Amino acid sequence: MTRNAKFFAAFLLAALLIAGVGSYYASAHPDGLNYVAEQTGFIDSEQESATSDGFFAGYSTKGIDNERLSGGVAGVVGSLTTLLVGGGLFWVLRRRRTDEPERA
């Protein structure tokens, strides 16, 4: 295993551990927009999201009754999705750049 591969494997393991375990301990307080909406009095005009009944809605996983496991699975899947999309974009952009001829 190369040095870079070891680094990325350790990074992936750390990210998944933080997502899976740390997500249970995340703050239960509302995020910034909800806080401001509560403080300024327009929280009552909030509308339900079109994806509110989605598989990972509410930082949990539909079909898993255990709250800790449900949040952990949602955190791991969200982290993997973000890493795959970001890594894929990085790879595509990096590859495109190397295909250009060198300028003298």
Full pLDDT tens readout for the chain, 104 residues: 888 889 989 999 999 999 888 887 776 666 788 888 888 988 888 888 888 888 888 888 999 999 889 989 998 999 999 999 998 999 888 866 555 566 65
3-class secondary structure, 103: coil
Report d(CA 96, CA 104) in Å as an integer. 19
* Residue 51 pLDDT: 85
The C-alpha torsion from 66 through 68 and 69 to 75, rounded to 10°, is 140
Tell me the whole-structure pTM to 2 decimals: 0.69
* Residue 44 pLDDT: 87
* Residue 95 pLDDT: 65
